Amino acid sequence: MSSVYARWTGERPAVVLMCPGRNVSEALKREILLGLEEEGVPVVVQEGNGDAEELGHQAARISPLEVGIGLDSQGKAVIHHRKLRRHQPVFTVHLNLRPEAARIVGTNAARLVKVVPFKTM
Protein backbone atom coordinates (compact mmCIF):
# COMPACT_ATOMS: atom_id res chain seq x y z
CA MET A 1 0.00 0.00 0.00
CA SER A 2 2.92 2.36 0.56
CA SER A 3 3.61 2.71 -3.17
CA VAL A 4 0.44 4.73 -3.80
CA TYR A 5 -0.41 6.04 -0.33
CA ALA A 6 1.35 9.16 0.82
CA ARG A 7 0.66 12.31 2.72
CA TRP A 8 -0.45 14.76 0.12
CA THR A 9 2.05 17.48 -0.61
CA GLY A 10 0.14 18.80 -3.60
CA GLU A 11 3.00 17.79 -5.88
CA ARG A 12 1.51 14.76 -7.60
CA PRO A 13 -1.92 13.84 -8.92
CA ALA A 14 -3.97 11.72 -6.55
CA VAL A 15 -7.50 10.92 -5.53
CA VAL A 16 -8.26 12.45 -2.14
CA LEU A 17 -9.97 10.38 0.58
CA MET A 18 -11.38 12.76 3.16
CA CYS A 19 -12.72 11.60 6.51
CA PRO A 20 -13.08 12.92 10.06
CA GLY A 21 -10.04 12.65 12.28
CA ARG A 22 -11.89 10.48 14.80
CA ASN A 23 -14.58 7.80 14.90
CA VAL A 24 -14.01 6.51 11.36
CA SER A 25 -13.51 2.81 10.74
CA GLU A 26 -9.85 2.17 10.04
CA ALA A 27 -10.79 -1.17 8.45
CA LEU A 28 -13.12 0.52 5.95
CA LYS A 29 -10.56 3.23 5.23
CA ARG A 30 -7.89 0.58 4.60
CA GLU A 31 -10.16 -1.32 2.19
CA ILE A 32 -10.90 1.86 0.21
CA LEU A 33 -7.16 2.51 -0.06
CA LEU A 34 -6.55 -1.06 -1.21
CA GLY A 35 -9.21 -0.72 -3.92
CA LEU A 36 -7.42 2.33 -5.30
CA GLU A 37 -4.04 0.60 -5.06
CA GLU A 38 -5.30 -2.42 -6.99
CA GLU A 39 -6.22 -0.09 -9.84
CA GLY A 40 -2.86 1.69 -9.66
CA VAL A 41 -4.27 5.13 -8.82
CA PRO A 42 -2.49 7.21 -6.14
CA VAL A 43 -4.45 8.34 -3.11
CA VAL A 44 -3.88 10.64 -0.19
CA VAL A 45 -5.87 10.93 3.02
CA GLN A 46 -7.01 14.28 4.39
CA GLU A 47 -9.01 15.11 7.50
CA GLY A 48 -12.18 17.11 7.15
CA ASN A 49 -15.50 17.93 8.76
CA GLY A 50 -19.02 17.20 7.61
CA ASP A 51 -21.08 14.34 6.32
CA ALA A 52 -19.88 11.95 3.61
CA GLU A 53 -21.39 14.08 0.85
CA GLU A 54 -19.64 17.24 2.02
CA LEU A 55 -16.35 15.40 2.62
CA GLY A 56 -16.47 13.85 -0.87
CA HIS A 57 -17.25 17.18 -2.48
CA GLN A 58 -14.40 18.91 -0.62
CA ALA A 59 -12.04 16.07 -1.56
CA ALA A 60 -12.94 16.28 -5.25
CA ARG A 61 -12.40 20.05 -5.23
CA ILE A 62 -8.82 19.71 -3.96
CA SER A 63 -7.88 16.57 -5.90
CA PRO A 64 -5.71 17.20 -8.96
CA LEU A 65 -7.51 14.22 -10.53
CA GLU A 66 -10.88 15.87 -9.75
CA VAL A 67 -12.11 12.76 -7.90
CA GLY A 68 -12.70 12.58 -4.17
CA ILE A 69 -14.07 10.10 -1.67
CA GLY A 70 -15.87 11.09 1.51
CA LEU A 71 -16.13 8.60 4.37
CA ASP A 72 -18.04 9.58 7.49
CA SER A 73 -18.19 8.09 10.98
CA GLN A 74 -21.50 6.30 10.22
CA GLY A 75 -19.85 4.20 7.49
CA LYS A 76 -21.33 6.10 4.57
CA ALA A 77 -19.02 6.59 1.58
CA VAL A 78 -19.45 8.96 -1.35
CA ILE A 79 -17.50 9.16 -4.59
CA HIS A 80 -17.58 12.67 -6.00
CA HIS A 81 -16.28 14.50 -9.07
CA ARG A 82 -15.23 18.14 -9.06
CA LYS A 83 -17.65 19.05 -11.86
CA LEU A 84 -20.71 17.77 -10.01
CA ARG A 85 -22.79 19.70 -7.50
CA ARG A 86 -22.47 18.86 -3.82
CA HIS A 87 -25.74 16.93 -3.67
CA GLN A 88 -25.09 14.99 -6.91
CA PRO A 89 -22.28 12.52 -6.15
CA VAL A 90 -21.36 9.76 -8.57
CA PHE A 91 -21.98 7.07 -5.91
CA THR A 92 -23.34 6.93 -2.38
CA VAL A 93 -22.87 3.69 -0.46
CA HIS A 94 -23.77 2.73 3.11
CA LEU A 95 -20.93 0.33 3.89
CA ASN A 96 -22.39 -1.19 7.10
CA LEU A 97 -18.91 -2.43 8.02
CA ARG A 98 -18.67 -4.54 4.83
CA PRO A 99 -15.01 -4.53 3.79
CA GLU A 100 -15.76 -5.89 0.31
CA ALA A 101 -18.08 -2.93 -0.39
CA ALA A 102 -15.43 -0.49 0.85
CA ARG A 103 -12.86 -1.98 -1.50
CA ILE A 104 -15.24 -1.57 -4.43
CA VAL A 105 -15.68 2.11 -3.49
CA GLY A 106 -11.92 2.56 -3.87
CA THR A 107 -11.89 0.57 -7.09
CA ASN A 108 -14.73 2.60 -8.59
CA ALA A 109 -13.13 5.91 -7.65
CA ALA A 110 -9.99 4.77 -9.46
CA ARG A 111 -12.04 3.66 -12.44
CA LEU A 112 -13.71 7.07 -12.57
CA VAL A 113 -10.24 8.58 -12.97
CA LYS A 114 -9.26 6.00 -15.61
CA VAL A 115 -12.63 6.28 -17.42
CA VAL A 116 -13.34 2.54 -17.43
CA PRO A 117 -16.55 0.72 -16.46
CA PHE A 118 -17.40 0.52 -12.76
CA LYS A 119 -17.50 -2.66 -10.72
CA THR A 120 -20.94 -3.60 -9.43
CA MET A 121 -21.64 -3.82 -5.70
pTM score: 0.90
pLDDT at residue 1 tops 60: no
Please tell us whether the domain made up of 15-114 is placed in CATH 2.30.40.10: no
Tell me the pLDDT tens digit for each residue of 74-110: 999 999 999 999 999 999 999 987 999 999 999 999 9
Q: Which residue has the higher pLDDT, 58 or 9?
A: 58
Domain boundaries, the chain: 15-114
Tell me the pLDDT tens digit for each residue of 9-36: 566 899 999 999 899 999 999 999 999 9
pLDDT at residue 3 tops 80: no
Task: Return the half-sphere exposure (C-beta side, CA atoms, 13 A cut-off) of residue 38.
Answer: 16
